[in-house]
Structure 1
Amino acid sequence: MKTTKPFLLKAVCTGRRLALVLLSFLFTGNTWSQPVVPFTFNNNSAFSDANVYVAVVGIINDNHVWIDTKTGAVRPMSASDNTVAGPVIGGNQGPGGNGRYANCFAKLSEIPNKTINMPGIAGCRILISFNSQLYLYFFGASGAPSGYAAPNLANPTDPNQGIRFEMIELTNAANGLWANTTRVDSYQYPMGLEVWGNNGFYKKVGEIKTHAQILAQWQAQAPAAFAGCYDATNGIIKFPSKTSAFQSGAQANYFGSYIDAIWAKYRNENLVFNAGDAGIWSGRVSGNVFTFTRTSDGAVGVIANKPTNTEAMEGSGVLASGGQWDKVVQAQVCAAINRHAIDLNLGNGAMQDLANESKYYVTAPYNWYCKFWHQPDISLNSLTYSFCYDDVFDKSSTINASSPIRATITVGGYPGGTSGGVATVYKDCNYGGSAVGLNAGSYTLSQLNALGILNDDISSIKVNSGYKVTLYKHDNFGGGAIVKTGEDACLVDDNFNDSTSSLKVETNSSAFSTVIQAEDYTYMAGVQTEATTDAGGGLNVGYIEAGDWMSYNVTIPVAGTYRVIYRVASPNSGMTLRLEKDAGTTQLGSVTIPNTGAWQNWTTVAHNVNLPAGTYPIGIATATGGFNINYLTITSNLSARLATQNIEQQLAAAENSALSIAPNPVRNQLYLKGYEKVQTLTVYDLGGRELMKVTKPGSTINIQSLNAGVYIIKLNRTDNSVKTVKIVKQ
């Protein structure tokens, strides 16, 4: 663990520019009278509410406090709070020497309305962990030592090793609410954050891909120098300086050549840059001290030594020390190094355009970890806190609302798009303009305006399966209405373009159906993927043995009975799979998988299960193994029989098209596509006489011995189905 006094929003970044803005509000010693801001959780993760743990720590009136999220009570940190027994790794008994840690976490399911009312507070962290609470140690509210010991990924004996967690950092101060997501130490799970304020203020940040998609994209894109940031054991991505390669290994001097070149060039020339609101600065190196002067008033900012690789990446050491103006220039230079924004080809005294993001992460060396998180297909609007000074020129995920009203934390981010929610409304036709996601509920015009939907301005809509949206022309849910259950590119066709004044989002369970590809698991144990010959191609999950399992995130619109249909294959008899939730403690049902004749001979099996409403993980487990699975379909029970029939008909049609004979007409040799699915091939004349029979045919069939004429070929497949084809022999 590491001892943390959470004075600032970033523990690893004690000199960041935002902290300077807040500093005068953090330590006044006066009681804050900030308006309470409700933070509501939206669980869009693969974990149930009972498996998501939440704690809030921060500072009020210069005292370290924690908020009891079950009751809303603000409590001073005390060593007497350390009552929870934690794991002992490598003999590490923790700061108290007794393996006890703070009893400050609550399950999300235990938090009333999933909402925490946030008072005026500084240096606050909302800590979110999965499947286990984190093990923090409280020293006390004030004095020395005070604060708490936080998780430390670099310590192999830390009791939090192996526990996935994320955080939201915030300060609710006299100059408003400041809040952000963070990737400064690591990425562990997608997160989203939205804040609403007076005068129509609304801002949203966060990741827009699933956890599995993010990990896959990292592995596909990461250059060799950064490949070690991916921790496959724990399924997380560490900030480079937290890995052995950048600490003492091959990348320990990653930025060395660039830093050396900057310090060498500006011993004899002036580095000039515009720091935005902080003015224009000109600096030169003497010895290893880089001294800058502001051109407007002569203010001085200093970098006391040439930074090390770790100091440059983390914004620590000589890049986080000294007075206010020291930290301003340190932030600018640190950000420029990580982004490789200082152009060494410019002449003496030429103005460096450090705000030009088209030059960021282009010329090596640069911090590729940061570039990854700023990709627009990873982070909404490319905004994220990927390193300490990412707020330089406003590239961070910081949200500042001067008059905040409420906030939402979306655990799991916004996979599949940027909207979140179960319905998305757009300002322009054809799904253009600004987009706002809506969860189930009723929305008046004033509520829609607060979400950023202004002047009755909804022009197109998308509605998730299992939900319906009713749009009204009046603000009291009246005056004519239309119902949408899918997509509508332009509401002008319904005379509702720019005239919606209220709406309701509700479940529509009779229309619910979702298909989950087996390879899209969130977590698994023991399985592998392989190419499938099933209709549609792609991958299936195979090599399934007794005790293996896969976990999937589902959103069920309303509690009820659902039909779950599995696409499976097996050369064995009596194999079974079971459907589970709550990490296996709740058994939803099981099915027996028939012998289909081969690993790639596919069929469907199904059962009815009772599912609660909500977003949570379900698991497929087995005590036998011995089968493959391609996908599963969950559909509302009212349409389940028809859905099963339609699926089977579609699959049969696809399989028939995948099994074919050519050419036709034919002279001497037939080519059989899909031969591996054929048990026997039999040729008959038009009178029904059997003329030829081949068991387990290959891809070519010689029919040279047949006379010219018309014949019937019967294909008996390995799944016991039959296909007949008429051919003409020339």
Structure 2
Amino acid sequence: MEPFSRRALLLTAPALLVPTALALSSAQTAAATAAKLTFRISNGSDLNQTLYLYVMGTDLGTGRLGYVDPAGNFQPWPAGSIPPSPAPDASMLGPGIGGTTSVLVPRGFSGRLYLAFGSKLDFRLTPDGLVQPDAANPPDPNYNILFDFTEFTYNDQGLWLNSSQVDMFAIPHAVTVTAQNGSVKRSGQLVAQGRNNVVQQIQALPDWQRSVIKRSDGTVLRVLSAGKATGVGLLDSGYLDSEINRAWNTYVNTPLTVRPFTDQPNIVFTGRTSGNVMNFTDSSGNFAASFNKPSSANVWNCDGNLFAPNDQVVGPIARTLGAALNRSTLADNSQQPALNAGTYYQNARTNHYARIIHANMANGNAYAFPFDDVGGFESLVYDPDPLSAGIEIGPFN
């Protein structure tokens, strides 16, 4: 668990969850009507262990952090302290094998639904908010617990729900949303033996095998994402540097064209490299943005030199660059974003975690790094006026 709430759960901005074009167009056509939305959590696993559920995040009306109680009401966290104080027990009992449990979520809420097998999670509070479990930090009290989470936003414009693998791949689960007419959208479902495939394929890569985290009894708890593994020294900090250098050098004399909005193809930015800086101009030739050459960690996490503010110029370009470098398409395709998934992850130095996660998804979609939604390849389901939502835990073996 990271001290002093360095990762306070503050999901007030659904930009990470909500594709901008989709959010705008849907908001114009419908509005969610249910004050409380039913999430049905089904346990199709083969684990004979108690399942605990938590719904935590932000009340979008007040901006306050808190949790959702069994009645579907938002409860703000009490004041925290330093050292961090225990949070109120917000757990709800999940279903046993083959069972289903319903959880109510109020409209105007954005956050995470945590799943934990075998033990309750240890949540703490500081004056800044909730300290999230740190799946990459052995001293964290939650490190040896098998847990995972799904991210969502439910507001007047509908429900956005995704099975996130940005931090880790742990509990196999799909997400669903049922529309008022009964139609169902599903994403995040693994292929047969998908969890075993992911673990075995990562373990087969010498540079990546340490990112598979096991308990002392041999239980595979999780596979850390590239960013998380790098952050704790389990992946070479300069692993992607050669690919980044190749991409940066490509555009010294060749223009890079970025069309960051698929629904607005006339918005175009052109980039060229000068030294370690890539400068972009808009369609009128005016300066738009510049980016210093990123580190491998910047690429994995889409931060630092690839930080993407919530604007209409720098952020969209940064998102596009980050996705292209994770997918190893930037040096080879001067028209970005590259939308042919068949060209992704083709180089030896690439985000193999993302490659393997996507390859083992039934529909090919996943959220394996920040801004994996560039091009629409994320494991997201959306409905402007949902009847219900679901999280379907799949088999481990």
Question: Where on the TM-score scale, by shorter chain, does this alignment land: which range?
Answer: 0.7 to 0.9
- Write out aligned runs for 1:260-659 (5 A): 260-275=245-260, 276-278=262-264, 279-295=267-283, 301-324=288-311, 325-344=313-332, 351-352=335-336, 354-375=338-359, 378-412=360-394
Partner of 2:168: 186
Structure 2 residue matching 1:194: 3-state secondary structure: strand
Find the structure with the greater CA-based Rg: 1
CA offset at residue 274 of structure 1? 2.9
Tell me which residue corresponds to 1:586: none
TM-fit CA distance, 1:269: 2.9
Stretches of structure 2 that go unaligned for 5 or more consecutive residues are 25-31
Partner of 2:223: 237
Please report how far the alpha carbon of residue 402 of structure 1 lies from its aligned counterpart in structure 2 after TM superposition. 1.4
Match of 1:65 in 2: 66
1:38 maps to 2:38: yes
Pair 1:172 & 2:187 matched: no
CA 1:389–1:301: 2 relative to 1, 3 Å: farther
Please tell me whether the aligned partners of residues 193 and 206 of structure 1 are also in contact (alpha carbons under 8 angstroms). yes
- 1:263-308: per-residue Cα shift (whole Å, max 9, x none)? 223233321133323533211234433232342x778653532111
| Partner in structure 2 of residue 507 of structure 1 | none
Distance 1:301 1:215, change over 3 A: farther
Aligned with 1:132 (options 119, 124, 128): 119
Displacement of 1:138 in angstroms is 3.1
Question: Does residue 163 of structure 2 align to residue 163 of structure 1?
Answer: no
- In the alignment, the residues of structure 2 paired with residue 147 and residue 19 of structure 1 have an alpha-carbon distance, to the nearest angstrom, of 27
Deviations 1:425-458 (A, max 9, x none): xxxxxxxxxxxxxxxxxxxxxxxxxxxxxxxxxx
**Deviation of 1:387 (Å):** 1.0
Superposition deviation, residue 134 in structure 1: 1.0
Residues 37 and 162 of structure 1: CA distance in aligned 2, closer, same or farther (over 3 Å): same
Tell me the alpha carbon deviations over residues 305-355 of structure 1, each in whole angstroms, 9 at most, x when there is no partner.
Answer: 2111111011122222445121101111111011111244x6xxx545611
1:382-402 alpha-carbon deviations (Å, 9 max, x no partner): 111111111001101011111
Counterpart Cα distance in 2 of 1:300 and 1:66 = 44
Distance 1:34 1:298, change over 3 A: farther
Give the Å deviation of 1:224.
1.8
Partner of 1:565: none
Distance, in Å, in 1 between the alignment partners of 2:54 and 2:270 is: 45
Which one-letter code corresponds to 2:317 in the other structure?
V
> Which digits, 9 at most, give the CA deviation of each residue in 1:601-650, with x for residues without a partner?
xxxxxxxxxxxxxxxxxxxxxxxxxxxxxxxxxxxxxxxxxxxxxxxxxx
Deviations 1:398-439 (A, max 9, x none): 1111121111111226x8xxxxxxxxxxxxxxxxxxxxxxxx
Corresponding residue of 2:29 = none
Distance 2:286 2:21 in 1: 18
The one of the two structures with greater contact order (alpha-carbon pairs below 8 A, sep at least 6) is 2
Give the structure 2 partner of residue 106 of structure 1: 92
**Greater strand percent: which structure?**
1
Distance (Å, rounded) in 1 between the aligned partners of 2:373 and 2:272: 25
The TM-score, its normalising length taken from structure 1, stands at 0.47
Quote the Cα distance in structure 2 between the aligned partners of 1:281 and 1:198: 40
Work out the CA distance in 2 between the residues paired with 1:217 and 1:352. Answer: 28
Q: Residues 216 and 19 of structure 1: is their aligned pair in 2 closer, same or farther, counting only changes over 3 Å? A: closer
Q: Is the 8 A contact 1:16 1:327 kept in 2?
A: no
**Residues 328 and 352 (structure 1), Cα distance of their counterparts in 2 relative to 1, 3 Å cut:** closer
SS for the counterpart of 1:132 is coil
Contact 1:273/1:354 (CA < 8 Å) preserved in 2?
no
Taking the aligned partners of 1:228 and 1:304, their CA distance within structure 2 comes to 31
Aligned position for 1:6:
9
Mapped pair 1:215 → 2:196: yes
- C-alpha change, 1:220 and 1:359, in structure 2 (3 Å) is closer
Q: In structure 2, do the counterparts of structure 1 residues 150 and 20 end up closer, same or farther at CA, with 3 Å as the change threshold?
A: farther
Q: Distance in 2 between matches of 1:57 and 1:196?
A: 22
Equivalent position of 1:54 in the other structure: 53
2:28 aligned residue: none
Cα distance in structure 2, aligned partners of 1:328 and 1:300: 15
Shift of 1:175: 2.3
**Counterpart check, 1:150 vs 2:114:** no
CA–CA distance in structure 2, aligned partners of residues 184 and 395 of structure 1: 13
Tell me: CA distance 1:267–1:247, structure 2 relative to 1, closer, same or farther (3 Å): farther
Confirm or deny: 8 A CA contact 1:272 1:280 kept in the other structure.
yes
Question: Normalising by structure 2, what TM-score?
Answer: 0.83
RMSD: 3.2
- State whether residues 59 and 124 of structure 1, in contact with CA within 8 Å, keep that contact through their aligned partners in structure 2: yes
Inter-CA distance 392–219: structure 2 relative to 1 (3 Å threshold): same
**Structure 1 residues 78, 99: closer, same or farther in 2, change over 3 A?**
closer
Q: Sequence identity of aligned pairs in percent?
A: 24
Distance in 2 (CA, whole Å) between partners of 1:405 and 1:55 is 21
Paired residue secondary structure (1:304): strand
Report the residue type matching 1:316 in the other structure.
D
